[in-house]
């Protein structure tokens, strides 16, 4: 290829920490910069820079995403007490993901990257289960009090119009304990619902949503009500036209059904449920590194990232001079997700086509048995399988990419893209629709 492909609008890059920072750099050097002419609006969200700037750099990065609409983010350390000491921090800064999600008010969508020779731990799962995680409020934007002496804890709402406050006793404490205050906003829940319905319609898959509304009769029930209102008002017709459905049930029932399903739906989750369940799904599908993650805001801002952390244990091994075998797939898919979106927004299909080649080049070595340690552990005992190092894996991807770029090769056998099912877009949702149909749960979306 003689000329680099031009990305016309700057892409917001957020650098990170530890092992992922090292891989992020290699991915850029070896898989992107040799082929792309792109302007990068760079923010170093490494812990030291966040500390040096009193976390202003995180806020600047979120504003940059609002300007350019597409950002890609490396994994970052959310400091705990140990990190404050390790890095000599001024304070225990909040999670950068939390800060950015709070500012963009988005929904995080995650989907596994399926490869034919890596089988999910749940044998029944045939298709990707996508997760839509509400990214605002609840326990991630809470206030907490440690109670150390007897007293009364109250929930008080003081209206700004001077009318009577609303008060409820939470607990009369006689002994030490804890209190937590959480909130959410109708507008944020509504945009969460809209984002989920939009995503599912785009992908041609059903939406499942579960809360604990039988216990939380006001808070969780409000989520259910808003989803129902939105669905009835704006989505029902389109969903019926597309042959897909919206299904609401209790969160614990949803979990039980997911385990027995064939997959192939968007599972809308409240913030905490999504945090926990996406890690469960990622590991059940194979590895935390085989999962895509994108934050979609109601204003149409997109932030792509890996769903795993900075892989601290591998980083310490690396610092000790040991050879590591860390999987860069999710980091690479963060870049390709961002580039595909950039291509779509800019009307530059060549950028999106290049990103697809990179994704295919990631899968090709794995299908051929070239894997990092996380995949080796679950790939079964095929004699062709062999473990490569962190660096070696990226080199194999580079070789596969070179062939695709120079010979125009495209497509990888054995790889199920995480978007619309099958590239012919042909697959029906019949199997689990029947299961839903039989249920006594509230089920919206059928005549
Ligand atoms: P982690 O980085 O996700 O790693 C947990 C374990 O999962 C690793 O020890 C490794 O298992 C496996 N793993 C994760 N990613 C892998 C990859 N790409 N390739 C191979 N194996 C992988 O979680 P953590 O160690 O609990 O957290 C480390 C730091 O990341 C923390 O400071 C946390 O705050 C931060 N974090 C950031 C984000 C984010 O920015 N999105 C998300 C979560 C956590 P083995 O050791 O068994 O090989
Ligand atoms: Mg999590």
C-beta 98 within 6 A of ligand 1: no
Instruction: Kindly state the average pLDDT of the residues 29-41.
Output: 97
Q: What is the pLDDT of residue 136?
A: 86
The encoded tokens of residue 251 equal: 């969160």
Q: Report the predicted TM-score, pTM, of the whole model to 2 decimal places.
A: 0.82
C-beta 283 within 6 A of ligand 1: no
Domain boundaries, the chain: 1-118+288-416, 119-137+184-285+437-447, 143-181
Q: Among candidates 323, 406, 427, 409, which has minimal Cα distance to 363?
A: 409
Q: In whole angstroms, give the CA distance from residue 141 to residue 261.
A: 33
Contact of 311 with 12, CB cutoff 8 Å: no
Q: Among candidates 20, 1, 75, which has minimal Cα distance to 394?
A: 20
C-beta 288 within 6 A of ligand 1: yes
CA nearest ligand 1 atom 23, residue:
309
Q: How far is the CA of 87 from the centre of ligand 1 (A)?
A: 18
Q: Return the CATH number of 1-118+288-416, one of 1.20.810.10, 3.40.50.300, 3.30.750.210, 3.40.718.10.
A: 3.40.718.10
Q: How far is the CA of 307 from the centre of ligand 1 (A)?
A: 9
Q: How far is CA 310 from CA 21, 85, 97, 333, in A?
A: 8, 18, 13, 16
Least confident stretch, 2-11, 68-77, 224-233: 2-11
Q: How far is the CA of 278 from the centre of ligand 2 (A)?
A: 7
Q: In whole angstroms, give the CA distance from residue 57 to residue 84.
A: 18
The preferred substitution site among 50, 72, 135, 309 for testing ligand 1, maximizing ligand atoms within 8 Å of CB, is 309
Instruction: Kindly state the average pLDDT of the residues 153-180.
Output: 97
CATH topology of domain 119-137+184-285+437-447: Isopropylmalate Dehydrogenase (3.40.718)
129-155: per-residue pLDDT in tens? 999 999 888 898 899 999 999 999 999
Instruction: Kindly state the average pLDDT of the residues 303-328.
Output: 96
C-beta 75 within 6 A of ligand 1: yes
CA nearest ligand 1 atom 47, residue:
374
Neighbours of 214 (CB within 10 A): 11
Identify each DSSP E strand in 282-436 by its residue range.
Answer: 291-296, 302-306, 370-371, 386-387, 415-416
Identify each DSSP E strand in 380-432 by its residue range.
Answer: 386-387, 415-416
Instruction: Kindly state the average pLDDT of the residues 385-402.
Output: 97
Residue 434 has pLDDT above 70, yes or no: no
Q: How far is the CA of 313 from the centre of ligand 1 (A)?
A: 8
CA nearest ligand 1 atom 34, residue:
78
| CATH topology identical between 1-118+288-416 and 119-137+184-285+437-447 | yes
Least confident stretch, 16-20, 197-201, 266-270, 424-428: 424-428
């Amino acid at each position: 290829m003689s000329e680099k492909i031009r990305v016309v609008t700057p892409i917001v890059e957020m650098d990170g920490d530890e092992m992922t920072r090292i891989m992020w750099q290699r991915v850029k050097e070896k898989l992107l910069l040799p082929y792309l002419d792109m302007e990068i609006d760079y923010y170093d969200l490494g812990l030291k820079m966040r500390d040096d700037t009193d976390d202003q750099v995180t806020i600047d990065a979120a504003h940059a995403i609002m300007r350019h609409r597409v950002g890609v983010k490396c994994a970052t350390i959310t400091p705990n007490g140990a990190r404050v000491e390790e890095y000599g921090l001024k304070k225990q800064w909040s999670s950068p993901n939390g800060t950015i999600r709070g500012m963009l008010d988005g929904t995080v969508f995650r989907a596994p990257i399926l490869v034919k020779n890596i089988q999910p731990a749940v044998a029944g799962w045939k298709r990707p289960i996508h997760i839509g995680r509400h990214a605002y409020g609840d326990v991630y934007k809470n206030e907490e009090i440690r109670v150390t002496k007897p007293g009364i804890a109250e929930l008080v709402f003081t209206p700004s119009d001077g009318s009577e406050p609303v008060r409820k006793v939470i607990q009369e404490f006689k002994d030490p304990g804890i209190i937590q205050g959480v909130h959410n906003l109708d507008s944020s829940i509504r945009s969460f619902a809209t984002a989920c319905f939009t995503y599912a319609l785009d992908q041609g898959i059903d939406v499942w949503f579960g809360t604990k509304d039988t216990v939380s009769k006001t808070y969780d029930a409000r989520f259910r009500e808003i989803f129902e209102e939105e669905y009835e008002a704006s989505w029902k017709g389109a969903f019926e036209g597309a042959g897909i459905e919206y299904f609401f049930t209790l969160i614990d029932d949803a979990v039980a059904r997911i385990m027995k399903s064939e997959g192939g739906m968007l599972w809308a989750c409240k913030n905490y449920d999504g945090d926990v369940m996406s890690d469960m799904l990622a590991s059940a599908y194979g590895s935390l590194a085989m999962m895509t993650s994108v934050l979609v805001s109601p204003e149409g801002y997109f932030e792509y990232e890996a769903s795993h952390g900075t892989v601290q244990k591998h980083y310490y091994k690396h610092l000790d001079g040991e050879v590591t075998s860390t999987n860069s797939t999710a980091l690479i898919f963060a870049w390709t997700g961002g580039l595909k979106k950039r291509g779509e927004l800019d009307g530059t299909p060549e950028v999106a086509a290049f990103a697809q080649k990179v994704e295919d080049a990631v899968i090709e070595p794995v299908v051929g048995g070239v894997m990092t340690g996380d995949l080796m552990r679950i790939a079964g005992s095929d004699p062709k399988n062999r473990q490569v190092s962190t660096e070696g894996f990226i080199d194999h991807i580079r070789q596969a990419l070179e062939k695709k770029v120079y010979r125009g090769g495209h497509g990888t056998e054995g790889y199920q893209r995480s978007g619309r099912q099958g590239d012919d877009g042909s697959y029906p949702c019949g199997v689990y629709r029947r299961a839903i149909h039989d249920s006594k749960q509230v089920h919206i979306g059928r005549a």
